[in-house]
Structure 1
Amino acid sequence: MAESKSSATDAGDAGDAGFGEGVPCWVDAQLPDVEAGKRFYGELFGWTFEAGYGASTWAYSEGRAVAALSPKRDGRMPTVWTVYFATPDAFGLAGRIREAGGQVITAPVPVDAYGTMALAADPEGAVFGLWEGEEHAGFERRHEPGSFAWVELYTRDTKIADDFYGELFHDTLLGPDAAPDFGRVAIADVFPAEMPPHFLVHFGVADCDEAMGTVIRLGGRIQVPPFEASYGSVAVVTDNQGASFAVLQR
């Protein structure tokens, strides 16, 4: 991960104001071809790019960090967008995940001075990241077109999901001041029952229909055409390398 351009905040920005435990604070895509990813997402969302930590590339919307694109280290791994949940203690949260029936895939590891990351999976196998921020807290811009807007967990058993995440992230999901950026839905409601449990990252757009045209023109495909959800107009798409994500028009 690379050093952030700015620490200023406004209503749509996160800067280094920090994130409560369980708040989605960062996303990255593991792609076979990062240069192709830059062309696709640069055109779709207007992102600009700079070199990030290691082999990763950071994406910026209006000069604020919003995501990272990273090369896949192993061609057998899926081409996916991964969401990272904030935590003040990655090692402690990893232990609680195990105790709650989840799995720690990659144990917490420091990323130079930027923070500490880990990968985990819930009891049904949906994979997510943990991020304990230091120099890099997470999103510098969110909830605006061209930036993170929401993440939805597609699960086979909503009670298992509610119990697992409600215990881990009670304050940010259910507490009196909670304003979640994270929801869940049964897989059968939208996807075939054989679809594995997973998180679907949503990016904001000004016009959902226009975004669909751009996705098709750039070689992506539409998995689920625009539909109305409680949080806006949503469409599920796949980029030109196979990574699925959603676009959300509030």
Structure 2
Amino acid sequence: MNIDPAYFTWYELLTTDMAAATKFYRDVVGWSALPSSTSRVPYTLFKAGDHATAGLLELPPEGLKMGARPRWMGYVGVKHVDAAADQIRRLGGAVYVPPTDSNIGRISVVTDSEGALFAVIGQPQVAVQQPEDSAKPGRFGWNELFATDLQKQSTFYREVLAWQRDDTEDRFANAYLTFSAGGQIVAGALKNSDPTPPFWLFYVNVEDIDAAVERVSAAGGRAGYNDAELPGGVRIAYCSDPQGATFALQGKRSHKQQVGWTTEWQEFSSRGQLVAPKSPAKK
């Protein structure tokens, strides 16, 4: 298939409370919010500075009836949305929203062959994120698939998106790999040993991870540090917003590191400090 560009270009939050979610991410990440006038349903653009970085919309009632819960969803740019949807079906994935023209471009909401939800987008009508933007504060800096069978999923994404598999160090070869497109690393995949169904997790860049985690807690969300330090001194925090949508933050630490402990928290098994939510301040 002729695919261009095969990287995550847009992100959307489907939630049960748009007003509360707008306030939460404005307080935590610093995004501004601008209602869209081109959508047939209420739609908000989150902006990092002058750049639109994500969309926000209400979780459809039919989705709630089917058991859907608030979540972040990433869009991968493709040249031919209809062909990509057909290929996904042939490879054992599902098509939840067939190819449709929307306010952000031609889209299709799909799952991979293990059920991890994502979307494909072609002819985007929004200023999509380019790979070189992924290091900027307020932008999405990393995309990570939690999968049961890494070999199976690497084959799926290679066939659908032409992603190439890049193995990590030998000791992690069976537990983690990265995907590349056009010579650029675009995503990672982690072997998920938990009973949680496979899913995509998206990371937002922040300048100060400790301050951002405190803001998550103060705004009524949850956050737990990962104890691993990435190159450049970057740390990760796994988070959920008050409506239950999971996401991650990444940035450098400013506070003195505290001694952590192992804890099970929602979908994630992490070593570190678990930060419980605080009651929202009364107005």
Kindly tell me the number of residue pairs found equivalent between the two proteins.
Answer: 226
**8 Å Cα contact 2:31/2:48 also seen in 1:** yes
Whole-angstrom CA distance in 1 between matches of 2:225 and 2:235? 12
Question: 1:79: which partner in 2?
Answer: 70
Question: 2:19: which partner in 1?
Answer: 35
Whole-angstrom CA distance in 2 between matches of 1:23 and 1:230? 22
Question: 1:242: which partner in 2?
Answer: 244
Residue pairs, 1:1-250, within 5 angstroms? 20-52=4-36, 53=39, 54-74=41-61, 75=64, 76-112=67-103, 114-139=104-129, 142-170=134-162, 173-174=179-180, 177-188=182-193, 193-225=194-226, 227-229=228-230, 232-249=234-251
Spell out structure 1 runs of 4+ moving beyond 3 A.
171-175, 223-227, 229-232
Whole-angstrom CA distance in 2 between matches of 1:164 and 1:171? 9
Whole-angstrom CA distance in 1 between matches of 2:71 and 2:18? 13
AA of the residue aligned to 1:143: A
CA deviations 1:79-122 (Å, max 9, x no partner) are: 1000010011100111111222212111110015x410111111
Unpaired segments of 5 or more residues in structure 1? 1-18
Unpaired segments of 5 or more residues in structure 2? 165-178, 253-283
Whole-angstrom CA distance in 1 between matches of 2:79 and 2:88? 15
Normalised TM-score (structure 2): 0.74
**8 Å Cα contact 1:104/1:119 also seen in 2:** yes
Distance verdict in 2 for CA 1:165–1:229, change over 3 Å: farther
Whole-angstrom CA distance in 2 between matches of 1:111 and 1:66? 17
Question: 1:9: which partner in 2?
Answer: none
**8 Å Cα contact 1:226/1:235 also seen in 2:** no
Distance verdict in 2 for CA 1:208–1:49, change over 3 Å: same
**3-state SS of the aligned residue for 2:114?**
coil
* Structure of higher CA gyration radius: 2
Root-mean-square deviation (Å): 2.1
Identity in percent: 25
Once the two structures are TM-superposed, the CA of residue 226 in structure 1 deviates from its matched residue by: 5.1
**8 Å Cα contact 2:80/2:122 also seen in 1:** yes
**8 Å Cα contact 1:212/1:222 also seen in 2:** yes
Whole-angstrom CA distance in 1 between matches of 2:238 and 2:212? 11
Once the two structures are TM-superposed, the CA of residue 181 in structure 1 deviates from its matched residue by: 2.4
Question: 2:255: which partner in 1?
Answer: none
Distance verdict in 2 for CA 1:226–1:218, change over 3 Å: farther
**8 Å Cα contact 1:60/1:66 also seen in 2:** yes
Normalised TM-score (structure 1): 0.83
